[in-house]
Amino acid sequence: MIDNYGEYKYEKYGEGELEKARELNERQLSMLNLVIRATKIGLWSSEISYDDSGNSSNAFNWSDEFRRMLGFKDIDDFPNTLEAWAQRLHPDEREEVLEHARRHLNDKTGRTPYNIEYRLKNKGGEYNYFRAAGETFRDEEGNALRIAGALIDISETKNILLDNELQLAKLNLTVRASKAGLWDMEVVQDDPVNENNIFTWSDEFRRMLGFEDERDFPNILSSWSDRLHPDDKPGTLEALKKHLFDKTGRTPYNIEYRLKKKNGEYAYYRASGESIRDEEGSALRIAGALLDLTEEKKILFEVERHRLEAEKANLAKSEFLRTISHEIRTPMNAILGISEILLQNNALDANTIEGLEKIYTSGDMMLGIINDVLDLSKIEAGKLELITANYETASLISDTAQLNMMRIGSKSIEFELDIDENLPAVLSGDELRVKQVLNNLLSNAFKYTDEGTVKMSVTSEKSGGKAGESGEEILIMTVSDTGKGLTREQIDRLFDEFSRFNQESHKAAEGTGLGMSITRSLVNMMNGTIDVKSEPDKGSVFTVRLPQGRVGSDIVGKEISDNLYKFKTVGRAQMKRAQITREPIRSGSVLIVDDVETNIFVAKGLLLPYELMVVDSVDSGFGAIEKIKGGWEYDIIFMDHMMPELDGVETTRIIREMGYDKPIVALTANAVSGQAEIFLKNGFDDFISKPIDIRRLNSVVNRLIRDKHLHLTETPGIAAKPADPVTLNPEFIEIIVRDVNKSLAALDSFIAKSADSDYKYTEEETRGYVVHMHGMKSALANAGKIDLSAAALKFEQYGRDGNISGIKSGTPDFLDSLRFFIEEINLQSEDNNTDIYAETEDSGYLSEMLAELKRSCEDYDEDGADEILTGLRKEKWTKRTSGLLKEIAVQLLHSDFDEISGSIDKFTGS
């Protein structure tokens, strides 16, 4: 090709200048060939037949470098023909390449360039990438005469680009799969938060927000910032600024926020980014990614929703348990308390005693069920704590055995005790919970054994320390029976909540099925184990192993072991009296604070055996405060927890702030976990759950009165006498009626305010409504009016829930029912007691005694007033005078001296 070019030049020059031109040409050609070889450029040219640019016979010239680029040596290897080149074009590109050449050659204007990229197959059969470019010589009419050009091998560059495209495609797929939107920003010098900073948002970024392209979501900062949630925008922009302005590069950009999508919905995203900085630390460029967290957030929100619902349900369950405890314990206080009072009367006939025994036993069993439910609630809530203290093992065993003897009833069962004489005399642990475990095991043994033997064995083995030294002891308690036994399947379900076994054989067995579940939980809490062996029709053996602390080296010994072995069954009443000895103290003083008169009645009755010098009572927290203001001091104030207007906790707080430091004991029907801590933190010295357990009451009275008055015969500063005996009589119903009448007046006043449709009840008024309904519910239940008690419970709940419309619509009818109930009792009383009133009376004597009674009240001489009233009530009076004396009796019961004076003045017309 170069040689031909030289011949062409020869035609233009004369003979004389030929030699000089040839020498110059050779030097230039030599330099050009060196450049061509160094740059790997292949040259080519072709003469064009006139008006036939596509003729295959057109002469072609391929340079040697062109051939070498394709792996050929010379013209024999790669002829100077168009076909030698055309047949090596890639089949997919041949027509396009040839058509490109034709368009260039046939365009007589010369404006169509020849510049194209294509693939050629080399001698080895592989395709290489080339870039071809050429120029054409034309005549005056624009016809192509000759074309020449160059071919450059771009295979290496092309392969790099293709690999980059492949990697980029893979990256895009990964980004799309991970739901990550990429973005970057060029930072204007010294102004990293300039609105004009050039932003680039990836297509995936746009797709995540529901946009299609740059027209939809321009490459500017505001495309993103304007879609930030208003609550998230300030913090997000501030985080970006802090990252960009921190020249140390230590402040990360990693933040979670919400963006509004094209459809208007907000979605959650996490953005992170890194910056490129100059030598001084100024940000030049920041790039990052955006991850879609919406699905993960939905899952987290759903989990949180379920957690909150579960927590709410658990709180509701705890509230229900606390409420149901209070609702059951309040009437049970009267049932068990009055039964206990009547059982103290040795003059009762056998049938009456038997009936009262059954009432007491059934009530006691109901309390056991309540306690099981509450214990389970405490365990589930994680609020049941172990209280470690030293205890005597023999006493624990004896108490448990005696308590469970009454479970035998009429069954033909022998109860055996086998106590290892080497058992440590004193251990350290939670005695109450150990007893509870043993009680539950014995309870089931007696419950599911109709006849045969129940045996309790107790022994121990060393776990640490030498003989005679303190250390850990494994207490081993075994309870066996000859009952029906259990199948393997029943054993597997034995510790499930609310699961009772052998139900087919023991359909009449009472209980919730919670005992064994609680037992296992308690054993686990004490790091112990429980093992069950049982066969159908052969009985069961339960073995519990509990780590306990050993205290000292003393052992139970043979004598105590033998005495326990010879343990004999005694009757329930005899057993009860053996357990609780309430000896007269004949000193000490007590104040009972309760708004329900029946509860005062029960409490006074249970305190009778102690023959205390003073047993006062008031029906409100205000009354208790007035007593303390009057200078009264008591060995114990028994304070009801829930009272109207001023509850027991608030009353105690006020009394303590007055400087009163004598014992105050809470009386509460709320026995759910956590109540003990609440009372003790609010100024109380102790608490007793309702129904009042005489064992608990006896412990409190002995500790706070007897032990402090061992050498005293009277209480200094208080003229007092033993309390009068309280027995169950018709006055009990009258007391209930008075409780109802007291609440009726308050509730009538409450409902009267609803006549004004715009009236809004205060929180204090609504609370008063709840407290009065609560008190009436108990009083009505004690009177046997279960339907009215249930209605009172409903309205009490309305008050707690703030259901004012329900209160307004239903309360008036309920109050009418109460009035009918009171009228019915009054009529029955008049019909049945027509002979108790005198037709005439000694008005002179009456006036004299009433004046004396009034003076005693003005002097706050409760004992003198009580003595005068007792003397008057022994006489027979007219109906009007009898009513006055009953009214004064109630007022005196609550120490309402001013009201007594007022009643006397009203009666006498003074």
C-beta of residue 585 within 8 angstroms of C-beta of residue 613: no
More confident residue, 305 or 505: 305
What pLDDT shows up at residue 716? 36
Quickly count helices (H) and strands (E) in the chain.
Answer: 30, 22
Per-residue pLDDT reduced to its tens digit, 244-260:
888 898 899 999 999 99
Per-residue pLDDT reduced to its tens digit, 119-153:
999 999 999 999 899 899 888 888 888 898 888 88
What pLDDT shows up at residue 548? 93
Residue 584 has pLDDT above 90, yes or no: no
* The residue count for the chain: 910
What's the rounded Cα separation, in Å, for the pair 589 and 583? Answer: 16
What pLDDT shows up at residue 542? 92
Q: Which residue has the tokens 């075994």?
A: 478
**pLDDT-derived band at 447, boundaries 50, 70, 90:** confident
Instruction: Give the pLDDT mean for 472-489.
Output: 88
Instruction: Give the pLDDT mean for 685-713.
Output: 75
Instruction: Please say whether the dihedral angle defined by the alpha carbons of residues 226, 232, 235 and 236, taken in this order, is positive or negative.
Output: negative
**pLDDT-derived band at 379, boundaries 50, 70, 90:** low
Instruction: Give the pLDDT mean for 74-85.
Output: 89
What pLDDT shows up at residue 362? 66
**Which residues does 776 contact at the CB level (< 8 Å), separation at least 6?**
739, 740, 743, 789, 792, 818
More confident residue, 642 or 581: 642
Gyration radius (Cα) of the chain, Å: 52
Q: Please give the sequence-ordered ranges of beta strands (E in DSSP) within 482-612, or none if there are none.
A: 529-535, 539-550, 589-593
What pLDDT shows up at residue 510? 44
Instruction: Give the pLDDT mean for 706-729.
Output: 43
Residue 66 has pLDDT above 90, yes or no: no
Residue 503 has pLDDT above 50, yes or no: no
C-beta of residue 311 within 8 angstroms of C-beta of residue 213: no
Q: Which residue has the tokens 């109630």?
A: 890
What pLDDT shows up at residue 466? 46
Mean pLDDT of the chain: 78
Residue 664 has pLDDT above 60, yes or no: yes
Query: What one-character DSSP code corresponds to residue 693?
Result: P
Least confident of 540-554, 654-668, 671-685: 671-685
pLDDT more than 90, % of the chain: 15
**pLDDT-derived band at 711, boundaries 50, 70, 90:** very low
More confident residue, 190 or 162: 162
**pLDDT-derived band at 652, boundaries 50, 70, 90:** very high
3-state secondary structure of 534: strand
Per-residue pLDDT reduced to its tens digit, 267-321:
999 888 888 888 888 888 888 888 888 888 888 888 888 888 877 776 676 666 6
Residue 718 has pLDDT above 60, yes or no: no
**Which residues does 626 contact at the CB level (< 8 Å), separation at least 6?**
618
More confident residue, 407 or 430: 430
More confident residue, 522 or 37: 522
pTM for this model (two decimals): 0.35
Q: How far is CA 640 from CA 371, 619, 782, 817, in A?
A: 20, 9, 17, 28
Neighbours of 435 (CB within 10 A): 16
Alpha helices (runs of H) in 448-525, residue ranges in sequence order: 488-492, 515-525
What pLDDT shows up at residue 826? 67
